[in-house]
Amino acid sequence: MKIQLETKDIIIFESSLYRTTSTLIDTENTLFLVDPNYLPLELEFIQQKVKERRGSKKLVLLITHADYDHIIGVNAFDYDALITTETFLTKRDIEKALYDLEAFEQSFYIHRDFELSYPVPTNLIKKNNQEFLFNSISVHGFLAPGHTIDSGFFIIKPLNILIAGDYLIDIEIPMIDDNLKDYKNTLDLFENLIENEDFSLVISGHGDYAKSKETVLKRIALDKEYLKLLEENVYQKQPFDLEFLKNFPNPIEMKAIHLRNVKNLVR
């Protein structure tokens, strides 16, 4: 499995599928594991890294949302706590989330040595900037609807790491499975945080992590440009310039995502 970054404090894993990331943050008393994924051998690799670093430390899972690629590996780990959004339980279509899990498994004839199920959180994010304390480490949770209704993100202090979930991605256009207005509001929230705080790392759910404020603000600007073109396409019936999709490395797939966004906006 590819490792994007490995230091004494953090490992960023990258799956072969969709360049999906999973992040392990190593602190004095607690390990934090974000969205463990994906394929069986990749999860075994992550398990080994967790085992090497865990010792007597607690393991806390941070789950950004209930898309199958972000929850598929939860049951592979013996964790002490799981933090996600309240809407993960109250507003997400759990039956569909479980169907998507099973559909992925059956599509590729995958066999695992653990049972797939919908994760059961121990701690819920109910408001923005909600704090969860683990000795000297504080996890700040935020609600981030737009991509999905249950999306959230995390800031880990004092390391100043921003875990963005499926936002601020450098390799794909915004994917709107929930609500365009909420997506725009979430981007505004990110933009305000990025402009006013200095993060050591910004880690998205797919693609490359970022270290500079300028890099992340460019991603936000490109996302906003796409959303403007999408609105003009759907609501003003203006043709969508497919050349825009060449800003991303997989324009054929980006066209499919765009058409799905259009369908979601007119439903």
Q: What is the mean pLDDT of residues 238-262?
A: 96
pLDDT above 90: residue 143:
yes
d(CA 21, CA 18): 9
d(CA 23, CA 26): 10
As given in the structure block, the two tokens for residue 78 are 């013996």
Q: What is the mean pLDDT of residues 222-226?
A: 98
Residue 218 lies in a domain: no
pLDDT at 162: 98
Residue 223 lies in a domain: no
User: What are the C-alpha distances in Å from 51 to residues 38, 58, 114, 167, 223?
Assistant: 18, 11, 17, 29, 38
Segment 81-113, tens digit of pLDDT:
999 999 999 999 999 999 999 999 999 999 999
CATH code assigned at 124: 3.60.15.10
- Please give the tally of structural domains in the chain: 1
Q: Which residues pair with 60 in a beta bridge?
A: 32, 81
Mean pLDDT of the chain: 97
Residue 260 lies in a domain: no
Residue 245 lies in a domain: no
Residue 124 lies in a domain: yes
Residue 65 lies in a domain: yes
In this structure, are residues 86 and 108 in contact, taking their beta carbons and an 8 Å threshold? no
pTM comes to: 0.97
pLDDT at 26: 98
Structural domain containing residue 117: 2-212
pLDDT at 267: 74
Residue 173 lies in a domain: yes
**Cis peptide leading into 158, omega within 30 of 0?**
yes
Residue 262 lies in a domain: no
Segment 10-58, tens digit of pLDDT:
999 999 999 999 999 999 999 999 999 999 999 999 999 999 999 999 9
pLDDT above 90: residue 60:
yes
Cα 6 from chain centre: 19
